[in-house]
Amino acid sequence: MPIATTAERNRFAQDLFAPLPSRYDRLAEVLSFRQNGRWRRAMVDQVTPGAGARVLDVASGTAGVAIQLARRTTADVVGIDLTEQMLRRGKHSVAAAGLAGRIALVAGRAEQLPFPDASFDALTFTYLLRYVDDPQATMAELARVVKPGGRVASLEFCVPPNPLWRALWWLYTRTLLPAGGLLTGGRHWLGVGRFLGPDISAHYRKYPLAQAPATWRAAGLTDVHVKLMSLGGGLVMWGTRSGG
């Protein structure tokens, strides 16, 4: 049955990720053929705030991107995520990295951010738009909290455009990914593996990649760039908040 409402999508995302925090980062690397870390770095490369800046990391999960942002820039970072269990794991990771003074993690929804307009110098978000009811409205909400001239960058899964690689991707996501999830992460990751491929395909049928730059521009972002990663399995986008 399709997930029809924002509340249903929020509950689904919480139910999907709540059991996974202790293994999330390791398994994400394994199940993406170790591409997840490379994709994250490519996204963070596009965010270069200066001294004294504040960066918001949306869908922060276990704080992997927030930690990378803090290590690679001089900014203070706020991470926000819907799932309390992921945030608790993230707080342990932040403390272990010695970054508790520069990273704050809070619970909240991307569709209704608890921050004033133009309160951040840059923003990142990861694997988010498939879990929201209205990607266009969510993009507008993300842009709302970024100062004019600030950079927004994202990482999402994608479907390879090349027919050969797309066929291999389809085979991998429908067979090897669920099996790998079961073997390395148990029944919860089996569920994630079964869900992921069909959900990515369904998202891009409804919201084709060719429309993505227009979605960002309609939200108030300019100079929008699209970069496919790993033969099209990953998608990094970035743009600048208009008005700067």
Domain boundaries, the chain: 6-241
Is the separation of the CB atoms in 180 and 31 below 8 Å?
yes
Q: Give me the residue label for tokens 């399995």.
A: 233
Residue (of 107, 110, 112) closest to 84 by Cα position: 107
Cβ-contact 49, 75 below 8 angstroms: yes
Backbone torsion region of residue 220, taken as left when φ is above 0, otherwise alpha when ψ lies between -120 and 50, otherwise beta: left
Q: Report the predicted TM-score, pTM, of the whole model to 2 decimal places.
A: 0.88
Distance CA 193, CA 242 (A): 38
Phi, psi of 83 (to 5 degrees): -100, 115
CATH of 6-241, one of 3.40.50.150, 3.30.70.580, 3.40.50.720, 3.40.50.300: 3.40.50.150
Q: What is the pLDDT of residue 193?
A: 74
Q: What is the pLDDT of residues 200-231, one digit of tens each?
A: 999 999 999 999 999 999 999 999 999 999 99
Residues of the chain with pLDDT under 70: 1-31, 184-185, 189, 244
- Tokens 């819907």: give the residue: 82
Contact status, residue 81 vs residue 57, Cβ threshold 8 Å: no
pLDDT of residue 244: 58
Written as one letter, the residue type at 133 is: D
**Which pLDDT score is estimated for 50?**
82
Q: What pLDDT sits at residue 1?
A: 38
Provide the pLDDT for residue 162. Answer: 96
